[in-house]
Amino acid sequence: FTTVSASHGSQHSSSDVDHSFFRSVLTSMEQVYLNRNPTANTVLQLVRSADVNQICYDHLAYRTFGVDGHGIESISKLFLDFGYTEREELRFPKKKLKALWFSPPTKASGGSGSGLYGPLPRIFISELIVDQMSPEAQEIIRKYTGLSGAGHKHSAVSSALGCLTWPKPSHLEFQQLARESEYAAWTLVNGYAVNHVTISIHRLKPPLNDVNNLNRFIQDNGFKLNSEGGVLKVSPDGLLLQSSTVADSIPFEFSDGVKERVPCSYIEFAQRLVLPQYKDLPEDKVEEVHRRDGFEVGNADKIFESTSKDQLTRAA
Ligand code: OOG
Ligand code: NI
């Protein structure tokens, strides 16, 4: 586990020590994510090498099935136990999804390292509203969540180990779900794996601390960005700017022996602008609390498409 001690550095504040177990769990989840997703891994290395090794994560995201305890609360428990606060709910009626986001404990949010050893990230967790799916889709989802038994109580273990809490589905079941909801099909084969990590753009050094510069940098290095509704996603107040890569796909062997690539995870970028009431603060006095917080339904709705077949098969 050399990456843990390497990124930990030698300086420990007392709050870092308090959260060292928690940060280790998240680091294992991140390791699974980096091992599976070459694009995310390379992009992180590229940005890190262009930016004196200091990257802050804006947020991490997870997907779940909203049924019998397998929904948002199955993974939010870890974060609530380690001092996170539940914030707003977001609704996506057409996708039959809802999401909640959580803010990190302020006491421990100021790690001085990079990535998960820097300021703790926000957490974005969504769930499929299973009751609203067709009877056929519900049957498949309830079959696998049922087979997971008490697995949902150990979602963090499953995410950190990189394994599912239920058996692998058949190819037919995967396809059937994908026809109705690509989100559902993604969750069936990826389970509690980290869906994406998000690089905090405004905490990078110039010129990459600007979303348009960063997007160009990513594309110039040969990576495809999610183009749904345009590459740049802007909140109505103009203060939350987001973009993301298109998910990598990984070989997956279904229970019936069919081998096919399935969408895995992507990496996102978020720039939070200074709130109007703080616009006169000198630049070196601006902290994260002075910036636009939270998430935006209109942006998120398009970022969900980073794992869609449309985006994965689209020409660069
Ligand atoms: C989450 C998409 C939304 C954001 O930052 O608004 C999102 C997902 O793909 O599961 O990440
Ligand atoms: Ni996100």
Q: Determine the distance separating the centroid of ligand 2 and the alpha carbon of 59, expressed in angstroms.
A: 7
3-state secondary structure of 142: helix
Q: Determine the distance separating the centroid of ligand 2 and the alpha carbon of 243, expressed in angstroms.
A: 9
Q: How high is the pLDDT of residue 18?
A: 60
Give the confidence band of 112 by pLDDT, cuts at 50, 70, 90: confident
DSSP H helical ranges for the chain: 2-8, 14-18, 20-36, 38-50, 72-81, 135-147, 155-161, 171-180, 182-190, 211-220, 297-303, 309-313
Count helices and strands in the chain by DSSP H and E runs:
12, 10
Q: What ipTM was assigned to the predicted interfaces of this complex?
A: 0.99
C-alpha span between 153 and 130 (Å, rounded)? 19
Give the confidence band of 235 by pLDDT, cuts at 50, 70, 90: very high
Give the confidence band of 111 by pLDDT, cuts at 50, 70, 90: confident
Give the confidence band of 7 by pLDDT, cuts at 50, 70, 90: very low
Preceding peptide of 207 cis, ω within 30°: yes
Q: Determine the distance separating the centroid of ligand 2 and the alpha carbon of 10, expressed in angstroms.
A: 30
CB of 233 sitting under 6 A from ligand 1: no
Give the confidence band of 110 by pLDDT, cuts at 50, 70, 90: low
Q: What is the mean pLDDT of residues 268-294?
A: 97
What is the third-level CATH fold of 2-313?
A: 2,3-Dihydroxybiphenyl 1,2-Dioxygenase; domain 1 (3.10.180)
* pLDDT at 187 exceeding the cut of 80: yes
C-alpha span between 26 and 23 (Å, rounded)? 5
Q: What is the mean pLDDT of residues 132-148?
A: 98
* pLDDT at 62 exceeding the cut of 90: yes
CB of 300 sitting under 6 A from ligand 1: yes
* pLDDT at 262 exceeding the cut of 60: yes
What is the domain partition of the chain in residue ranges?
Answer: 2-313
Q: Determine the distance separating the centroid of ligand 1 and the alpha carbon of 273, expressed in angstroms.
A: 19
Lowest mean pLDDT among 43-57, 203-217, 244-258, 279-293: 43-57
* pLDDT at 248 exceeding the cut of 60: yes
Q: What percentage of the chain exceeds 70 in pLDDT?
A: 93
Q: How high is the pLDDT of residue 97?
A: 98
Give the confidence band of 109 by pLDDT, cuts at 50, 70, 90: low
Mutate to test the pocket of ligand 1, among 75, 124, 248 (most ligand atoms within 8 A of CB): 124
CA distances to 241, 243, 262, 266, 308 from 303, rounded to whole Å, are 12, 7, 18, 10, 10
* pLDDT at 129 exceeding the cut of 70: yes
Higher pLDDT, residue 105 or 109:
105
Give the confidence band of 108 by pLDDT, cuts at 50, 70, 90: low
Q: How high is the pLDDT of residue 14?
A: 47
Q: How high is the pLDDT of residue 52?
A: 74
CB of 33 sitting under 6 A from ligand 1: no
Whose structure tokens read 């006169």? 280
State which amino acid sits at residue 175: Q
Q: What is the mean pLDDT of residues 184-199?
A: 98
Nearest CA to ligand 1 atom 4: 300
Q: How high is the pLDDT of residue 106?
A: 86
* pLDDT at 4 exceeding the cut of 60: no
CB of 124 sitting under 6 A from ligand 1: yes
